[in-house]
Amino acid sequence: MNRLYSPVIETLMRWSPGVTRKAVFSGIDLACRWQQRKLTKRHRSGSGIPGDGRITDRSVEVMGLRFPNAIGIAAGFDRDGSIGRRIGVLGFGYMEIGTLTPDGEGQRNLTVLQQLSAERASEDGRLGINVGRRAQGSLLQGIDDYLRGVTAAWPVADYIAINLGGPAGHSYLDVEHSMLLEQLLHALKTAQWRLQDQYDRYVPIVFKLKVPPQPEAMLPLLLRIRDLRFEGVIAAEDGGKSAQRMTSKVATERLAQQQQICQRLAYLKQQLGDQVDVISVGAIADLNEANMRLAAGASLVQVHNALVYRGPSFFRELKQHCRSGN
């Protein structure tokens, strides 16, 4: 059955990507619920031990937080937090949900955050919340959008990601908008201090950025993020459908691609230093590639397409990886 999964999914993705992704998401959601019930039953009967099915031997400390392991799921897979922290029962260290924006669906987003708050104490997986600005409106108004998102997410999130990688957020990185970018950074840092005092809990803030072929272009922003003492950068790579089933024909080209990504990642980490963590996302097909990113300097990695294209094979790899001592 596992051998048929990838070819079937690749065919379905060519036919209807949206429907296929929803079907895969529903399957993973059901797997979480089934595993959760199974663990609850075992613990009530006394036949299991706390932590069965969850990963504890590969825990890592990142941004001042303890993650069960370094492998998480990128924003966009679980946009509304339907799975959220429950992903921990399948072995993942964390889930990043969103992007949440204060648009016409803002009320739904508020409901999502309230539900996640109610689940907070009962789940093991860490939760990141990715917030963005509305596509409409000025960049100045967008600063308020980000602040509203941070304020709403603060009581629930383990960390908050400021999405500057998508079309709506990337405009802040244009040279002509440098003053607005500086205003955004200072507003976010001020909000971080204020909300810490208000809720008596500190939430790390990271910035999701697309990594260009020449990462030196990012240096001024990286230095500002470091100097303002934000906690992390999500380095997003655009690898297309790079998580598809591997063949010998593309193996050499893919290895070269991964090596180039790791070189860029190492550059980012070198510039940011130990005080800012780097999270790598994009063009990760399997855990071997995830480990390459970790070796290059990433503290955490996020997968997305690998879940869709590889399914059961990826979960099997994750289980073996987290139980091994290597």
Architecture of the domain spanning 2-323: Alpha-Beta Barrel (3.20)
Q: What is the DSSP string of 199-257?
A: HT----EEEEEEPPSSGGGGHHHHHHHHHTT--EEEEE---SSTTSPP-HHHHHHHHHH
pLDDT given at position 50: 43
Q: What is the DSSP letter of 66?
A: E
> What number of other Cβ atoms are within 10 A of residue 188's Cβ?
19
Element containing residue 91 per DSSP (H, E): none
> What pLDDT is recorded for position 58?
84
Return the SS3 of 267.
Answer: helix
Helix pair angle (248-272, 287-296), 10° resolution: 30
Phi and psi at residue 256, in whole multiples of 5°?
Answer: -65, -40
Structure tokens at 214: 């020449």
pLDDT score of 3: 76
Residuewise pLDDT in 10s, the chain (326 residues):
567 888 899 999 999 999 999 999 999 999 998 888 887 777 666 654 444 444 446 899 999 999 999 999 999 999 988 899 989 989 999 999 989 988 655 545 655 666 666 555 445 689 999 999 988 889 999 999 999 999 999 999 999 999 999 889 999 999 999 999 999 999 999 999 999 999 999 999 999 999 999 999 999 999 999 999 999 999 999 865 544 455 666 788 899 999 999 999 999 999 999 999 999 999 999 999 999 999 999 999 999 999 899 888 888 888 887 776 55
Chain centre to alpha carbon of residue 100: 13
- pLDDT given at position 17: 92
- Distance, CA of 138 to CA of 134 (rounded, Å): 9
